[in-house]
Amino acid sequence: MYSPQLLDHFEHPRNAGEITNPDAWAQVENPACGDVLKLTFRLVDGRIADVRFRAKGCVPAMACGSAVTELVKGKTIAEARALRTAEVVDAVGGLPEASSHASHLAIDALAAGLSALKPDCRS
């Protein structure tokens, strides 16, 4: 049912936790299923130097939270904004149709977090 990559992200999550005093953070919830994803960011010289996640929900939501942190770490804000759900799905080795909401949750949290950046971090 789940790919080996998805299970690996779930069983061995990357970048789990929260950053103390982040440059930005966002928490989004899928009202239909109740999954919650929180991302916290630290930027250095216009790049995402650190990003952490906390997730509450299904296995795919947790795996996509882990994957999105790996995909954006080290990227510029513009590069991170360009990330699409298909790239998250690829990073977890695919998602069952009923779990596609997990990749959207990850991208929505990313977009909200980048929009919440302190003005001095946006350049």
User: Domain range for residue 95?
Assistant: 4-118
DSSP letter for each residue of the chain: ---HHHHHHHHS-SSBS--SS-SEEEEEE-TTT--EEEEEEEEETTEEEEEEEEEES-HHHHHHHHHHHHHHTT-BHHHHHT--HHHHHHHTT---GGGTHHHHHHHHHHHHHHHT--GGG--
Residue 97 forms part of a structural domain: yes
Give 122's pLDDT tier (boundaries 50, 70, 90): low
CA distance 23 to 50: 10
pLDDT tens digits, one per residue of 20-47: 999 999 999 988 889 999 999 999 998 9
Residue 123 forms part of a structural domain: no
The alpha-carbon radius of gyration of the chain (Å, integer) is 13
Q: Is it the case that residue 16 has pLDDT exceeding 60?
A: yes
Domain total in the chain? 1
Q: Is pTM beyond 0.85 here?
A: yes
Q: What CATH number is associated with residue 45?
A: 3.90.1010.10
